[in-house]
Amino acid sequence: MRWLRSIYYDGLLFVANRIVSHIPSHFLRLFFYRHVMRFSIGQCSYIFMDAWFDTKGKDSFVMGHHSVINQRCRLDNRGTIEIGNNVAISAEVCILTADHDPQSPEFQGRVRKVAISDYVFIGTRALILPGVTIGKGAVIGAGSVVTEDIPEFTIAVGCPAKEIGKRSMQPFEYDAGYYRWFH
C-alpha cells in the first residue's frame, strides 16, 4: 500500500511540474495549484509557466495577494515557502528550503522555512537558501545568493548577498501582481 501512495504522490508532482506548469493559462494552473496541490494563493496573484514544486499541501506553499512568480522558478517547498502580498519574484529564481547537514555523520537531510515579506522584489536568477527571512520592502539583486536574513527595506546584492543601501519609498502604494495572457 505504501508503494501505491508513493506512485500517486510522484505522479501528482510529475503532472504539476511537467504538464500543468506548461499550460498557457493562469486560470487552469491556479485552479490546479489551489485545489489539487492545496496551495494557498491569494487574489490577483500569478505563477507563470514552468514553475517547479517539490511537494503538495496547504502549509507547504503560501502566497499572498497581488504577488507574481515569473517563469522558470524553482520552488522547493518541502520546508514551507511563505510569500507575502505585493511580492515580485523575477524569472529563474531558485528558493530552497531543504539541504543536508554537513556536520552530520549520515549527511542528514533537513528542511527550514523561507519567509518573504510584503513588497519584496527578487531579481532574476537569485538564489534564496533554506531558513532565510526577507524583510518587508527588501530588494534582492539579480544573481544574488541570499544566505542569511535580509532586514526590512534593505537593498542586497552579491554572493553572498550584502546590503548596499536602503529603500526609501515608504509607505508602498503599488500592486506587484500582473497578468499576462500566455505566461
Q: Is residue 83 part of a domain?
A: yes
Question: Per the domain annotation, does 45 fall within a domain?
Answer: yes
Active-site positions?
100
Q: Is residue 52 part of a domain?
A: yes
pLDDT for res 179: 77
Please give the tally of structural domains in the chain. 1
Q: What is the pLDDT of residue 46?
A: 96
Q: Where do the DSSP E strands lie in the chain?
A: 40-41, 46-47, 52-53, 61-63, 68-69, 74-75, 81-83, 88-89, 94-95, 98-100, 109-111, 114-116, 121-122, 127-128, 133-134, 139-140, 145-146, 154-157, 162-166
pLDDT in tens, 124-136: 999 999 999 999 9
- The answer as to whether 93 is a domain residue is yes
- pLDDT one-digit tens code per residue, 21-62: 999 999 999 999 999 999 999 999 999 999 999 999 989 999
For residue 172, tell me if it sits in a domain.
no
Task: Establish if 121 belongs to a structural domain.
Answer: yes
Residue 178 has pLDDT above 90, yes or no: no
CATH of the domain at 62: 2.160.10.10
Query: Is 173 inside any structural domain?
Result: no
Tell me, yes or no, whether 97 lies in a domain: yes
Domain encompassing residue 24: 2-166
Whole-number Å distance between alpha carbons of 80 and 114: 6
Least confident of 40-49, 82-91, 107-116, 173-182: 173-182
What are the grid coordinates assigned to 115, written together? 519567509
